[in-house]
Chain A
């Protein structure tokens, strides 16, 4: 079945780069997403990548996609204390039948940024 795996914790120092990794199993995934969740808050869409791309950059965020290995990563440059949050990777399959909005989420990576 479909599954998305992430490491649960990551700790970095302020100013360093953070790399959050994600693996998925559904080779028919069309879009892959990164969401950020702060405590007690909703999910903020950070960025997404279409499966025919291998890289997408948006200011401090860089997404890398390795389709062969089904591996997705999110790099945050110059990490700040305000980046401390849980980061969720999610995939959306190619089934345009009933599951268009059925995102499969990982359990989230808790990023802690130390000053």
Chain B
């Protein structure tokens, strides 16, 4: 049973370009979360999605960032017109459906490291 799969693992973008990060949840998991980790910091919640629905995007910057989890295919975190401050590790996590709609266990992927030059 493969874990949470993220790609690319490393991505370099020039300022103003777009970055697309993909995440396939663990098999049987229907809840996906995106987190951002800045250097020397803990992880900060960005968005929580279920299939075709954004449940909680309270941690998403208001501009340039968007996320989706289509009926088919991976979840995508999209950053438009990247700036140097977007350089960070972006982690996807997933959990199975469970009590309250979310399982107790939340598993993380290996992360996508974005560098903006």
Contact = CB atoms under 8 A, between A and B. Distances in A.
Interface of A: 4, 31, 33, 35, 40-45, 48, 50, 88, 90, 92, 96, 98-108
Given A42-B108, A45-B107, A98-B55, A105 B43 contact: yes
Nearest to A40: B113
A107 B41 contact: yes
Nearest to A45: B107
B108 A99 contact: no
Given A42-B108, A45-B108, A98 B45 contact: no
A106 B55 CA distance: 24
Overall SS of chain A's interface: strand
B17 interface: no
Given A98-B58, A101-B102, A107-B42, A43 B108 contact: yes
Contacts, number: 76
B91 A42 contact: yes
Contacts of B110: 41-42
| A-B complex: 7 closest residue pairs judged by Cβ atoms | A98-B56, A105-B42, A100-B102, A42-B110, A43-B108, A96-B100, A101-B33
B106 interface: yes
B53 to A, nearest CB: 11
Contacts of A101: 31, 33, 45, 48, 56, 93, 95, 102, 106
A7 to B, nearest CB: 13
A35 B35 CA distance: 14
A103 B104 contact: no
B16 interface: no
A96 B48 contact: no
Nearest to B59: A102
